[in-house]
Amino acid sequence: MDLSFSDSEEAFRADARAWLTANVPEEPLPSGDTAAGFARHKEWERRLFDDRWAVVSWPEAYGGRDASLWEWLIFEEEYYRAGAPQRVTQNGIFLLAPTLFELGTTEQQDRILPRMASGEETWCQGWSEPDAGSDLAGIRSNAVRDEAAGGWRLSGQKTWTTRGAFCDRMFGLFRSDPDAERHRGLTYYLVDLAADGVTVRGFGRLDGDEGFADVFLEDVFVPDADVLGEVNQGWGVAMATTGSERGLTLRSPGRFSATADRLVELYHDLGGDAADPVLRDDVVRGWMDAEAYRLQTLQTVTALSDGARPGAESSLTKLFWSELDVRLHDTALRLLGPDAELGGAWMKGYQFALSGPIYAGTNEIQRNVVAERVLGLPRK
Ligand SMILES: Cc1cc2nc3c(=O)[nH]c(=O)nc-3n(C[C@H](O)[C@H](O)[C@H](O)COP(=O)(O)OP(=O)(O)OC[C@H]3O[C@@H](n4cnc5c(N)ncnc54)[C@H](O)[C@@H]3O)c2cc1C
């Protein structure tokens, strides 16, 4: 097995590194989960797009570089290594776009992808409802056919929509056939949040950022052109999106390798071997686990490059990266001791890491998926 990259891949890495070195803001931007920070991040996303670094693996026609998945991984490594800003376009680019490429019409791809890549149109995910989180098939928001107008009328409430308070559009699941079995009567819609009948109400997170939102819909018109996939087949479309969310694209290894490297730096800055041996072991373990995730991802990318689709194994990946993120940040806080309480990037990162076992499907649910669909264990 040859784990090294080719000359052209290394040249790609050098280009990415040079651009990031020249362009990443010296001062961190304010959080993209606040109104002011979101606006600043959109400017950054535009710069990435203008120099064709926003969506490297997409076709050139949509603003990409036709880069391979390997090159995309390299770009991600360099991006996090450079400490570049969080991607406020991520729910569009990393979740919706893979599904649009797989199941969208050419018209949808041509219309939506370039505006998504440039950050001109930002997307949030409208799945969870007050009474339907883990049990996603229990959603009640509904869609009623409007034959005369050539579309659908959507009503109901979505909640926990990340950055929904600032985004332009939302992809979401709605019940389009009330009589069908739970998983069969759902359709996947692309909703304009500026449409008549939409009310977006932002609310704060535990860490003080206000990017979450409830989205209320009252008879909101969505044209047929904004149905993604077949009517009443939304569950299958949503599962394609979760494959991306839990698997490769949302949380690439570069993110955790960079955190692990910073943890090692912190360990040395704070006196290195003077540290408690248990803490030292945790630093080493964190670094090794991040490396293990990187190596395991190379295997995933090999399979995807050979034509495989992300399947139930993406639940294993999600379990691993979410728990790794908590461990890395927890170790940093223990290294910092009482100073951790003063706030700073490690504390903020820790608070967000704690939500990793919840979003993208809770880890309890992922364990059920692994038990039933990867290991083939009985449901009860
Ligand atoms: C930071 C963050 C961002 C998010 N962003 C979005 C977003 O952009 N869009 C969106 O639609 N949603 C978003 N969510 C919501 C997220 O998807 C839900 O919180 C998640 O699916 C869990 O649903 P719930 O909160 O309703 O908890 P519940 O489903 O009520 O679960 C409560 C507890 O019961 C456990 N549980 C439930 N069912 C089972 C079972 N069958 N077996 C074992 N244990 C079970 C769960 O694991 C959990 O511990 C976000 C959440 C967070 C934390």
- Sort 359 into a burial class: Cβ within 10 Å, 0-12 / 13-18 / 19+: middle
pLDDT at 285 over 80: yes
Q: With contact defined as beta carbons under 8 Å apart, do 321 and 356 qualify?
A: yes
Which whole-number Å values give the CA distances from 373 to 172, 355, 360, 370, in the listed order? 25, 24, 17, 6
Which tokens in the block code for residue 282? 């945790």
Residue nearest to ligand 1 atom 18, measured at CA: 133
Distances (CA, A) of 279 to 282, 283, 324, 339: 5, 6, 15, 16
Atom of ligand 1 nearest to the CA of 164: 8
Q: How far apart are CA 355 and CA 352, in angstroms?
A: 5
Token pair belonging to 359: 């979003």
pLDDT digits (tens, 9 = 90+) for 294-303: 999 998 888 8
Q: Is the pTM of this model over 0.85?
A: yes
Looking from the CA of 230 toward its CB, the CA atoms found within 13 Å total 6
Q: Is the CB of residue 140 less than 8 Å from the CB of residue 103? A: no
What is the pLDDT averaged over residues 321-339?
96
pLDDT above 90 (res 244): no
Catalytic residue among 71, 121, 245, 313: 245
Place of tokens 């000359």: 7
260-276 residue pLDDT tens: 999 999 999 998 777 78
Token pair in block for residue 79? 């991006």
| Span from the CA of 65 to the centroid of ligand 1 (angstroms) | 36
Residue 230 annotated in active site = no
Ligand 1 contacts CB of residue 357 (under 6 A): no
Distance of CA 355 from the midpoint of ligand 1 (Å): 10
The pLDDT confidence band at residue 194, using thresholds 50, 70 and 90, is: very high
Two tokens, residue 335? 């290294």
Question: Which residues, listed in sequence order, are joined to residue 189 by a DSSP beta bridge?
Answer: 172, 227
Contacts of 85 (CB under 8 A, 6+ apart): 24, 25, 28, 29, 32, 41, 44
DSSP string, 69-109: HHHHHHHHHHHHHTTPPP-TTHIIIIIIHHHHHHHS-HHHH
Q: Are 117 and 55 in contact (CB under 8 A)?
A: yes
Query: What average pLDDT is seen over the chain?
Result: 94
Cα–Cα distance for residue pair 247/252, rounded to 1 Å: 8
pLDDT of residue 309: 80
Q: pLDDT tens-digit profile of 143-180?
A: 999 999 999 999 999 999 999 999 999 999 999 999 99
* Per-residue model confidence (pLDDT) at position 259: 97
pLDDT over 90 (residue 16): yes
Q: Report the pLDDT value the prediction gives residue 351, as an integer from 0 to 100.
A: 93
